[in-house]
Amino acid sequence: MNDRSEPQWLLWARELQAVAQIGLHFTRDPYDRGRYEQIRSLAARMMAAQSGHDFAPIRELFAEQTGYATPKVDVRGAVVQDGKILLVRELSDGGKWTLPGGWAEINQSPAESAVREVREETGFEVKITKLAAVYDRGKYPHRPVYPFHIYKFFFLCEITGGSPAASLETEMPTFFAEDEIPALSEDRVLPFQIQRMFAHAREPDLPCECD
């Protein structure tokens, strides 16, 4: 049963890509290598046909993935202060708003990556006070869908220094009350996730939410 918010064709294409990537990582047989490359090409064709994107860039994207296939990690920092939450406006998504965050970096823990993202996108120095949630992106109606499987880590943060500043990707770090949340970049964060961050800020003893 598909309990995810993503279409079935995407799950199949993603799984085929992962099978091919893992097979190419482990195989020493040249014939098996050719078969895994065919599977990878089939996954790219399936994704291109269903998504409306060109086949060539998807094939190249899949070919860039090496080693054992695992989910990617997105981190978000939630600063709730005086009953308001800190959001940034995304320049790449029509000026919609999101929690500061992005991909976790190599040689940084998820928490360290969240602190870095908040600093880069808002100008504020923060410390992590709580891991509030770990969500499987594919179980929720984020749009657009991604070709890869993604886990989203949400951390509550407390400001320790710095001052508001824009970045190359975002502008206007601004605090919003719970009933004033603007249009969100739903690629990155959903309304219910913002609501859950307010809930965790009000009740710090709530357990971490995990899919």
- The mean predicted confidence, pLDDT, of the chain is 94
Segment 35-43 shows an average pLDDT of 96
Q: Which amino acid is at 26?
A: F
Q: Where are the domains of the chain?
A: 8-64, 72-210
Say yes or no: domain 72-210 is CATH 4.10.410.60: no
What whole-number distance in Å separates Cα of residue 14 and Cα of residue 65?
A: 12
Q: Which residues contact 31 (CB under 8 A, 6 or more apart)?
A: none
The pLDDT assigned to 37 comes to: 96
Q: What is the pLDDT of residues 93-136, one digit of tens each?
A: 889 999 999 999 999 999 999 999 999 999 999 999 999 999 99
Handedness of CA 141, 173, 113, 93 (dihedral sign): positive
Q: What is the pLDDT of residues 3-20, one digit of tens each?
A: 778 899 999 999 999 999
Q: Produce one character per residue of 135-164: b if its CB has 16 or more CB atoms within 10 Å, e if not.
A: bbbbebebeebbbbbebbbbbbbeeeeeee
Q: Which long-range contacts (CB under 8 A, 24 or more apart) does 66-69 make?
A: 66/21, 66/24, 66/25, 67/21, 67/25, 68/21, 68/22, 68/25, 69/17, 69/18, 69/21, 69/22
Q: What is the pLDDT of residues 148-203, one digit of tens each?
A: 999 999 999 999 999 999 888 888 899 999 999 999 999 999 999 999 999 999 99
Q: How confident is the model at residue 2 (pLDDT cuts 50, 70, 90)?
A: low
What whole-number distance in Å separates Cα of residue 138 and Cα of residue 7?
A: 9
Q: Which residues contact 94 (CB under 8 A, 6 or more apart)?
A: none
Phi, psi at 42, each rounded to 5°: -60, -40
Segment 77-84 shows an average pLDDT of 97
Alpha helices in 6-109 (DSSP H): 8-26, 30-51, 55-64
Proportion of the chain above pLDDT 70, given as a percent: 99
Token pair listed for 134: 């770990």
